[in-house]
Amino acid sequence: MSDLAQALASLEAAAQADLAAALDVSAVDAVRVRYLGRKGSLAAILRGLGGLDAAERPLAGKLANEVKTRVEAAIGTRRGALVAVAQAAALAAERLDVTLPGQPVAMGRLHPSTQVLRRICQIWANMGFQIYRSRDVESDELNFELLNIPAHHPARDMWDTFYTETEGVLLRTHTSPGQIHAMREFHPEPIRVILPGMCYRYEQITARSEIQFHQVEGLAVGRHITMTDLKGTLISFAHRMFGANRQVRFRASYFPFTEPSAEMDVECLICGGSGCGICKQSGWLEILGCGMVHPRVLQNGGYDPSVFSGFAFGMGPERITMLLHRIDDIRFFWGNDLRFLEQF
Ligand code: FA5
């Protein structure tokens, strides 16, 4: 029994000395394994209990438990102290200055064309026009035939076309085929819609013309709609878009799907009307084509032209954006140059 007490006492002393020498948490954990682990020194001593007299065993067991409890407590204390030291060191090393200003997150923004497109839609919405979406890939029938432009008609030369490999399927050259979609959906009710969307033309790219550009089509169909309604509505749009003092003019024009037809110009904002490269020295910039819906087109849409009449227009938001921001080359729009895009 006294041997066992001796062994326990020296185990405790050795464990305390090792703990005092342990300088980090992993060294403390190693002490626990070495003295209190399943294969550690205390377990080895306890295996010797079997050799004692039965009368001595309870006292020996009690002694061993007391030593174990004290060593465990010492390990806990040492471990806690070392964790606190390590935390203090980490806090000091990784100190955060929460008063430093944050790093700004780079904000994206809408493309200038989208911004103007939305403004145009807003103005027309305020004037009671609903937005009607229609497809970019169209049939020859809707893009041309039902708009009064039969195959081989010279008017087809007005729109150089991207055809697909599927017979009769093309990329729409204007948003006007949407007029037929809308009329066929709503007839015989009156209509007031705008149709924003992308158009495609197989054209020479220049400072004023792209092969891909937006249009916003407008269509009003009802009883007793006249050319006066068309002019008044478009002038009101131009004043809301460009300011009440902006000059506009209508020029007689030709579109196979309207009769009579016109084009509306806005005083060139880039040169103030004195003439520049963008307005071809005219002082005016064309922003849209328009006219009274041709009776045959009304009929193709399902309306009786002896009862109904209507007006239509198609404008180019990129041209309008150029006017508003004095951009002198349309190629900037799809050039993906951030130096351009970040200005809006
Ligand atoms: C048309 O496309 C007719 N569908 C417009 C129309 C609708 C007339 C309804 C009557 C009734 P035009 O080809 O002129 O017309 O184009 C209309 C507008 O689209 C132009 O005024 C211009 O602002 C814009 N636009 C035309 N071609 C280009 C191009 N290559 N690049 C950029 N904008 C263009």
pTM: 0.72
Q: What is the pLDDT of residues 172-203, one digit of tens each?
A: 999 999 999 999 999 999 999 999 999 999 99
Atom index in ligand 1 nearest the CA of residue 218 equals 9
Over range 59-71, report the average pLDDT. 89
pLDDT at 318 over 90: yes
State which ligand 1 atom lies nearest to the alpha carbon of 158.
13
Helices then strands, counting H and E runs in the chain, come out as 11, 9
Nearest residue to 246 via CA among 323, 161, 133, 341: 323
CA distances from 163 to 170, 290, 323 (A): 4, 25, 31
Using only the alpha carbons of the chain, give its radius of gyration: 43
- Between 166 and 63, whose confidence is greater? 166
User: Would you place residue 208 in the very low, low, confident or very high pLDDT band (cuts 50, 70, 90)?
Assistant: confident
Give, for ligand 1, the residue of 288, 297, 323 to mutate: max count of ligand atoms closer than 8 Å to Cβ: 288
pLDDT value of residue 279? 79
| Cα 172 to Cα 175: distance, rounded to the nearest angstrom | 7
Query: In the chain, what is the straight-line distance between the N-terminal and C-terminal CA atoms, in Å?
Result: 92
Confidence of residue 1 (pLDDT cuts 50, 70, 90): low
Burial class of residue 52 in the structure, from the number of CB atoms within 10 Å of its CB (0-12 exposed, 13-18 middle, 19+ buried): middle
Ligand 1, atom 26: closest residue by C-alpha: 316
Q: How far is the CA of 244 from the centre of ligand 1 (A)?
A: 24
Tokens of 250: 């209508």
* Token reading at 271: 């040169």
Residue (of 289, 247, 250, 290) closest to 269 by Cα position: 247
Q: What phi and psi values does residue 251 have, to the nearest 5 degrees? A: -120, 140
Q: Which atom of ligand 1 is nearest to the CA of 316?
A: 23
- What stretch of H or E contains 185? helix 177-186
Tell me which DSSP letter residue 332 carries.
G
Taking the centre of ligand 1 as the mean of its atom positions, its distance from the CA of residue 322, in whole angstroms, is 15
Instruction: Tell me how far apart the alpha carbons of residues 157 and 144 are, in angstroms, rounded to a whole number.
Output: 11
| Ligand 1 centroid from CA 243, angstroms | 22
Helix (H) or strand (E) holding 263: strand 258-267
Categorize the per-residue pLDDT at 55 as very low, low, confident or very high, splitting at 50, 70 and 90: confident
Calculate what percentage of the chain has a pLDDT beyond 90. 67
CA atoms within 13 A on the CB side of 223: 3
Give the pLDDT score at 157. 78
Candidate of 181, 195, 215, 315 to mutate for ligand 1, largest count of ligand atoms within 8 Å of Cβ: 215
CA of 33 to the centre of ligand 1 (A): 85
Higher pLDDT, 260 or 273: 260
Say what the pLDDT of residue 43 is: 87
* Mean pLDDT value across the chain: 92
Q: Tens digit of pLDDT for each residue in 86-145? A: 899 998 898 888 888 888 888 889 999 999 999 999 999 999 999 999 999 999 999 999
* Cα(63)–Cα(60) distance, integer angstroms: 5
- Which of 146, 159, 217, 255 to probe ligand 1 with, by most ligand atoms within 8 A of CB? 255
Is the pLDDT assigned to residue 146 strictly greater than 90? Answer: yes
Q: pLDDT grade, residue 262 (50/70/90)?
A: very high
Sequence-ordered strand ranges (E) for 72-129: none
The single residue listed with the structure tokens 């087109």 is 297
pLDDT digits (tens, 9 = 90+) for 213-224: 999 999 999 999
In angstroms, the CA 261 to CA 251 distance is 9
For residues 230-235, average pLDDT: 97
Q: CB-based burial of residue 28 (10 Å sphere; 0-12 exposed, 13-18 middle, 19+ buried)?
A: buried
Please spell the DSSP secondary structure of 271-318, one letter per residue.
TTTS--TTTTTSSEEEEEEEEEEPHHHHHHHT--TTT-EEEEEEE-HH
Say if residues 298 and 188 touch (Cβ distance below 8 Å). Answer: no
Q: Does the pLDDT at position 51 exceed 90?
A: no
pLDDT at 158 over 80: no
pLDDT at 45 over 90: no
Ligand 1 centroid from CA 209, angstroms = 10
Three-class secondary structure of residue 196 per DSSP: strand
Ligand 1 atom with minimal separation from the 176 CA: 4
List ligand 1's pocket residues with C-beta within 6 A. Answer: 174, 176, 201, 203, 209-210, 213, 215, 217, 255, 258, 261, 286-291, 312-316, 318-319, 330
- pLDDT score of 128: 97
| Strand order, beta sheet including 284-293 | 130-131, 191-200, 212-222, 309-315, 284-293, 258-267, 248-255
Report the pLDDT value the prediction gives residue 156, as an integer from 0 to 100.
78
Q: Tell me if 52 sits within 8 A of 60, measured CB to CB.
A: yes
Share above pLDDT 70 across residues of the chain, in percent, rounded to a whole number: 100
Cβ distance 146 to 112 under 8 Å?
A: no
